[in-house]
Amino acid sequence: MNTKKRHQPKVDTTGLYQRAIRQAFIKLHPRQMAKNPVMFLVWMGTLICAILTLFPALFGSVAGENQRLFNGLVTVILLFTLLFANFAEAVAEGRGKAQADSLRATKTDTKACKILDDGDTQFVSSTELRQGDLIKVVAGEMIPVDGEVIDGVASVDESAITGESAPVLLKPG
């Protein structure tokens, strides 16, 4: 059993669902709905069904109470379908944005143990590293930048970059 703690960026999803609920209603605007043709047709069907429920005489028939109740129920179901689809889309967009923000923050927050010319080490931000700098990475640390192994051997989890779930063995060369 692997008990090592993996270094994953912390994704801040605070307020994600509140923003998604608000976005679900904002996305009901016709210009927003027109961006997705299938959902636009559902939106049009909902609108027509709502008009048919409220003003049955506009379509040349006088509907009984049972027919109006049925039309109203269909309208509510279609409206909830639209809201749920918009909510799910807003949550996905929010999570993607939060993950991108956390990756940007990880880049600036990650510290590297830079090996100086005299052999001493100094902790610096990964954004301060330049091509040609040597760094020391200890087992379990996050590798701050792309590079090549000069000394030693390591089993590295590259799943965030390559998608490959198995660790890759890295050695000099």
Ordered DSSP codes for 64-129 = -HHHHHHHHHHHHHHHHHHHHHHHHHHHHHHHHHHHHHHHHHHHHH-EEEEEPTTS-EEEEEGGG-
- Rounded to whole angstroms, how far apart are CA atoms 83 and 68? 22
In sign, the C-alpha dihedral spanning 153, 155, 159, 160 is negative
Per-residue pLDDT of the chain (173 residues), as tens digits, is: 444 444 455 666 778 899 999 999 999 999 999 999 999 999 999 999 999 888 887 777 666 778 889 999 999 999 999 999 999 999 999 998 888 887 777 766 777 888 888 888 888 887 788 888 888 887 777 777 777 777 888 777 776 667 677 777 777 86
Q: How far apart are CA 45 and CA 86, in angstroms?
A: 16
Res 21: pLDDT: 93
Q: Does domain 110-170 have CATH number 2.70.150.10?
A: yes
pLDDT on residue 15:
87
Provide the residue ranges of all domains of the chain, joining segments of one domain with +. Answer: 16-108, 110-170
pLDDT of residue 12: 64
CA–CA distance, 129 with 21 (Å, rounded to integer): 42
Both structure tokens of 138: 């200890």
